[in-house]
Amino acid sequence: MTTMTGAVFAPYCYHTKIKLKSWKGDYLHRPDSDKGVTTWGTGVGNEWIVEPAADGKIQLKSWKDDYLHRPDSDQGVTTRATE
């Protein structure tokens, strides 16, 4: 696993579509449901848009206009509404 602590994204990377691929070969996927993420082989839900955030961080926006989110709970990764 590669961790990109303190990674800097050049401005030209913003608003670029990316796919996050697992070691199993599937992708992080935003299904057509109220919220949440899963893994999947193909589809529009596999694409995430890189957006700038505060303090040099990035956010990943789904095709449903919500964002990848890691809450402070045992729930794991989910999505949250746009800000």
In a domain, 52, yes or no: yes
Task: Find the domain containing 55 and state its range.
Answer: 28-70
In a domain, 56, yes or no: yes
Instruction: Please say if the pLDDT value at position 68 is more than 80.
Output: yes
- Report how many domains make up the chain: 1
In a domain, 2, yes or no: no
In a domain, 11, yes or no: no
Instruction: Please say if the pLDDT value at position 2 is more than 90.
Output: no
pLDDT of residue 83: 59
Task: Note the Cα 57 to chain centre separation in Å.
Answer: 13
In a domain, 45, yes or no: yes
In a domain, 59, yes or no: yes
In a domain, 57, yes or no: yes
Contact 54, 46 (CB under 8 A): no
Tokens standing for 17?
């579509």
Per-residue pLDDT tens digits for 9-42 = 666 678 889 999 999 999 999 999 988 899 999 9
In a domain, 4, yes or no: no
Say whether 43 sits in a helix, a strand or coil.
coil
- Which amino acid is located at 21 in the chain? K
Using a pLDDT cut of 90, give the percent of the chain over it. Answer: 48
List Cβ neighbours of 19 (8 Å cut-off, separation of 6 or more): 27, 28, 46, 47, 48
